[in-house]
Amino acid sequence: MIGEIALDRLTRQSGQLAQVGKIVRLDLPDALANRLKAMGLFEGQDVAVSRGGNPMIVKAAGGKIAVAAELARQIMVQTEMSVTPFDRIGDVAGVAKMAGVAKVG
Amino acid sequence: MSVAPESASKPVSEEPPGAIQCRAVVAMVGNPNVGKTSVFNRLTHLLAKTSNFAGTTIEKRKGVVRLSGDDAITLVDLPGIYSLQASSPEETVARDFLTGDPDGQPPAADRPDGLIIVVDATNLSRSLFIAREVLALGLPAIVAVNLVESARRGGIQIDVSKLSQRLACPVVGVSARTGEGFDALKSELQRMLRPVLPLVTIGGPMTAGTESAGVNAGDGASVDDEAQCGRCGGCPFADGHRWAATLARESTLDGGVISDETTDRIDAVLTHGWVGPAIFAAVMLVTFSLVFYVAQIPMTWLDGLFGWLADGATAILPEGDFRSLIVDGVIAGVGGVMVFLPQICLLFFALAILEDSGYLARAVVVIDRWMRRVGLPGQAFVPLLAAHACAIPAIMSTKVIANRRDRLAAIMVIPLMTCSARLPVYTMIAAMLFPSQAIYAAILFASAYALGMVAAFVMSFVFKRTLLPGEPSPLIMDLPHYRTPSLRNALRHAFERGWMFLRDAGTTILVISIAIWVLSTYPKLPEERFAETLASSGIVAEQLDQTDRENRFAAAAQEYALIGRAGKWVAPVFEPLGFDWKTSVGVMTSFAAREVVVSTLSILYGLGPEPDEDVSLHQRLSAAKNADGSPAFTTATCISLLVFFVLAMQCLPTQAVTKKETGSWGWAAFQFGYMTVLAYTAALVAYQVTDRFF
Confidence of residue B457 (pLDDT cuts 50, 70, 90): very high
What is the rounded CA–CA span in Å between residue B447 and residue B83?
46
- Residues B39 and B144 sit within 8 Å (Cβ to Cβ): yes
What is the rounded CA–CA span in Å between residue B552 and residue B522?
17
Classify residue B159 as exposed, middle or buried by CB count within 10 Å of its CB (0-12, 13-18, 19+): middle
Confidence of residue B209 (pLDDT cuts 50, 70, 90): very low
Residue B442, pLDDT score:
86
Does the pLDDT at position B341 exceed 90? no
Cβ of A66 and B365 within 8 Å? yes
B606-659 pLDDT tens trace: 655 555 555 567 777 787 777 677 788 889 999 999 999 999 998 888 998 999
CB contact A68 to B (< 8 Å):
yes
For B153, list phi and psi in degrees, rounded to 5. Answer: -65, -30
What is the rounded CA–CA span in Å between residue A3 and residue B656?
56
State which of A5-9, B467-471, B661-665, B679-683 shows the largest mean pLDDT. B679-683
Cβ of B267 and A66 within 8 Å? no
Residue B170, pLDDT score:
93
| Among B293, B223, B311, B335, CA closest to B593 | B335
CB contact A29 to B (< 8 Å):
no
How far off is chain B from A39, nearest CA to CA, in Å? 6
In terms of C-beta distances under 8 Å and separation of at least 24 residues, what long-range contacts does B9-14 make, across chains too?
B10/B45, B10/B66, B12/B47, B13/B47, B13/B64, B13/B66, B13/B72
What is the rounded CA–CA span in Å between residue B304 and residue B615?
20
Does the pLDDT at position B8 exceed 60? no
What is the rounded CA–CA span in Å between residue B400 and residue B80?
11
Report residue B430 CA to chain centroid gap. 30
Residue A7, pLDDT score:
87
Confidence of residue A101 (pLDDT cuts 50, 70, 90): very low
| Among B329, B370, B355, B331, CA closest to B482 | B355
- Residues B547 and B573 sit within 8 Å (Cβ to Cβ): no
Q: Nearest-5° angle of CA B175, CA B178, CA B181? A: 50
Residue B414, pLDDT score:
96
Q: Where are the beta strands (DSSP E) in chain A?
A: 3-6, 20-26, 46-51, 56-60, 63-67, 75-79
Mapping DSSP onto H, E and C, the string for B615-661 reads HHHHHHHHHCECCCCCECCCHHHHHHHHHHHHHCCCEHHHHHHHHHH
What is the rounded CA–CA span in Å between residue A102 and residue A80?
12
Average pLDDT over all residues of chain A: 74
B30-72 pLDDT tens trace: 998 888 988 998 998 867 777 777 766 677 888 899 888 778 8
Q: For residue A76, how many C-alpha atoms fall within 13 Å in the half-sphere facing its CB? A: 9
Does the pLDDT at position B440 exceed 50? yes
CB contact B261 to A (< 8 Å):
yes
Does the pLDDT at position B199 exceed 70? no
Mean pLDDT of B400-405: 84
Residue A86, pLDDT score:
45
- Window 467-496 of B: residues touching A by CB (8 A cutoff) are 474-480
State which of A11-25, B85-99, B233-247, B434-448 shows the largest mean pLDDT. B434-448
Report the run of H or E that residue B59 belongs to, with start and end. Answer: strand B59-66
Q: Which of B248, B257, B479 sits opposite A65 (nearest CB)?
A: B479
> Of B40-54, B189-203, B287-301, B418-432, where does mean pLDDT reach its minimum?
B189-203
Q: Which 8-state DSSP code applies to residue B158?
A: B
What is the rounded CA–CA span in Å between residue B398 and residue B386?
10
- Nearest chain A residue to B271, by CA: A51
Mean pLDDT of B379-406: 88
Residue B3, pLDDT score:
39
What is the rounded CA–CA span in Å between residue B239 and residue B220?
9
Residue B632, pLDDT score:
80
- Nearest chain B residue to A99, by CA: B245
Higher pLDDT, B224 or B82: B82
CB neighbours of B166 closer than 8 A, spacing ≥ 6? B208, B212, B215, B216, B247, B250, B251
B579-599 pLDDT tens trace: 988 888 888 878 777 877 887
Cβ of B478 and A51 within 8 Å? no
For B456, list phi and psi in degrees, rounded to 5. Answer: -60, -45
Partners of residue A57 in chain B, C-beta under 8 Å? 267, 271, 365, 479
Confidence of residue B195 (pLDDT cuts 50, 70, 90): low
Partners of residue B275 in chain A, C-beta under 8 Å? none
Does the pLDDT at position A81 exceed 70? no
Residue B667, pLDDT score:
95
Q: Which of A39, A43, A92 sits opposite B264 (nearest CB)?
A: A92
Does the pLDDT at position B4 exceed 50? no
Mean pLDDT of A58-74: 89
Q: Which of A30, A61, A67 sits opposite B476 (nearest CB)?
A: A67
Largest Cα–Cα distance of chain A, in whole Å? 37
For B458, list phi and psi in degrees, rounded to 5. Answer: -65, -45
Mean pLDDT of B204-225: 39
Q: Where are the alpha helices (DSSP H) in B178-252?
A: 182-192, 212-217, 223-231, 236-251
Q: Is B631 left (phi over 0), alpha (psi -120 to 50) or beta?
A: beta
Question: Dihedral sign, CA of A80, A85, A87, A93?
Answer: negative
- Window 57-86 of B: residues touching A by CB (8 A cutoff) are 82-83, 85
Task: Give the whole-number percent of chain B exceeding pLDDT 70.
Answer: 86
B361-370 pLDDT tens trace: 999 999 888 8
Does the pLDDT at position B683 exceed 90? yes
- Nearest chain B residue to A36, by CA: B476
Cβ of A57 and B237 within 8 Å? no
To test the contact with chain B by mutation, choose from A11, A25, A37, A86 the residue with the greatest count of B C-beta atoms within 10 A, namely A37
B289-321 pLDDT tens trace: 888 889 889 989 998 999 899 999 999 999 888
Sheet holding A63-67, edge to edge: A3-6, A75-79, A20-26, A46-51, A56-60, A63-67, B476-479
CB contact A11 to B (< 8 Å):
no
Confidence of residue B685 (pLDDT cuts 50, 70, 90): very high
How far off is chain B from A38, nearest CA to CA, in Å? 6
Partners of residue A100 in chain B, C-beta under 8 Å? 249
Mean pLDDT of B464-473: 87
Cβ of A31 and B87 within 8 Å? yes
Confidence of residue B89 (pLDDT cuts 50, 70, 90): confident
Q: Return the axis-axis angle of helices B261-270 and A92-104, rounded to nearest 10°.
A: 120
CB neighbours of B581 closer than 8 A, spacing ≥ 6? B567, B568, B571
Does the pLDDT at position B13 exceed 50? no
- Residues B647 and B679 sit within 8 Å (Cβ to Cβ): yes
- Nearest chain B residue to A31, by CA: B87
Q: For residue B110, how many C-alpha atoms fall within 13 Å in the half-sphere facing its CB? A: 20
Sheet holding B114-120, edge to edge: B48-52, B59-66, B72-77, B24-30, B114-120, B141-146, B171-173
Residue B637, pLDDT score:
92
Given the DSSP bridges, would you call strands A75-79 and A20-26 parallel, antiparallel or unpaired?
A: antiparallel
Cβ of B273 and A36 within 8 Å? no
What is the rounded CA–CA span in Å between residue B145 and residue B55?
32
Does the pLDDT at position A103 exceed 50? no
Task: Give the whole-number percent of chain B exceeding pLDDT 90.
Answer: 27
CB neighbours of B675 closer than 8 A, spacing ≥ 6? B415, B416, B647, B648, B649
Mean pLDDT of B476-488: 87
Confidence of residue A13 (pLDDT cuts 50, 70, 90): low
Q: Which of B124, B126, B364 sits opposite A40 (nearest CB)?
A: B126
- Residues B321 and B467 sit within 8 Å (Cβ to Cβ): no
What is the rounded CA–CA span in Å between residue A6 and residue B439?
53
Cα B3 to Cα A67, B39, B63, B274, B486: the distances in Å are: 37, 14, 17, 39, 10
Partners of residue A66 in chain B, C-beta under 8 Å? 361, 364-365, 368, 475-479
Classify residue B610 as exposed, middle or buried by CB count within 10 Å of its CB (0-12, 13-18, 19+): exposed
